[in-house]
Amino acid sequence: MSEFKSGFVTIVGRTNVGKSTLINLLVGEKVAAIANKVQTTRTAIKGIVNRPNSQIIFTDTPGIHKPKHKLNETMIETSFTSIQDADLILFLIEADSKEIGRGDTKILEKIKEAKRKTILIINKIDKVKKEDLLKLIEIYRKEYPFEAIIPISALQEKYKNIILEEIENHIKEGPAYYDIEEYTDQTLRQLAEEIIREKALQILKDEVPHGIYIEIDKMKMRKNKNKEEIYDIEANIYCIRESHKGIIIGKNGEMLKKIGKAARIEMEENFGLKVNLKTWVKVKKDWLDNPNIVNKFKLK
């Protein structure tokens, strides 16, 4: 009988490089919020993959970027702490890079300091010519002794097993740290907040800058008159300006209804039962620099 392996794997990379898409592909469930906007991931989200001979615990970290306020500083601190704590690192870069940019150089420095086993994942290979990809591989190969270099397109299912098998080759014998039925250590409340925030970012697009955060006020299960279980969820969407509040609510409340409906549908799919979702929009001007709020996003 082959040995059982387990390991903690941290996914690092610059903002908007595709880390959340990759973790959702590998875990096979909706764990990390995905929106085509930088800094979507604020905390280190864990996703769990249970295989016949292994348990792999993934951490999706906030993207590395230049900090502008307290929240940004906390996000970057979380990413770098995750590198130190990992058994293995997946370093995700974009295939259309011509050189190692400032952000990727900073990540490489942290990997070198930590002396961690690292697999280089080159994402979005559909956007470049083969010869350019080979040049990029050579540039990175000279910088660090990667365990493997895997070119991928994160949206394609075929890469899932290639990456998981490579990870399994590089983690050690160990116990299952989580129940094999689990796929994340986030609470349902955290997942609900992530889903609402993702839908808001996707639907609002560039109309509201990134300064929104979600707080669930109430999350309670009850049975309706048909004896079906239903979650009553009440959530606040906080923004930093009065003008943003108007945009999020929209004319006759249409934008907020759209966000709420999209979030409710996804929650019902994720939680496996009906959801009654109510949302409010409130202004909290200083939340990006408020330690009580920002500390929620620190690595636990």
For the entire predicted model, the pTM comes to 0.58
Tell me: the pLDDT tens digits for 59-89?
876 644 444 444 444 444 554 566 777 899 9
Q: Count H helices, E strands: the chain?
A: 9, 9
Is pLDDT of 175 > 90? Answer: no
Burial (0-12, 13-18, 19+ Cβ within 10 Å), 274: middle
The pair of three-digit structure tokens given for residue 201, joined into one six-digit string? 């970012």
Question: Does residue 235 contact residue 216 with C-beta atoms inside 8 Å?
Answer: yes
| Closest to 241 (Cα-Cα) out of 207, 198, 218, 195 | 207
Tell me: the pLDDT tens digits for 4-54?
898 889 888 887 788 878 888 888 765 544 434 334 334 455 778 888 888
Dist. CA 255–CA 259, nearest whole Å: 6
Give all strands of the β-sheet with 229-239 in edge-to-edge order: 212-223, 229-239, 274-283
The length of the chain is 300
Is pLDDT of 206 > 80? Answer: no
| SS3 category, 246 | helix
Question: Does residue 61 contact residue 82 with C-beta atoms inside 8 Å?
Answer: yes
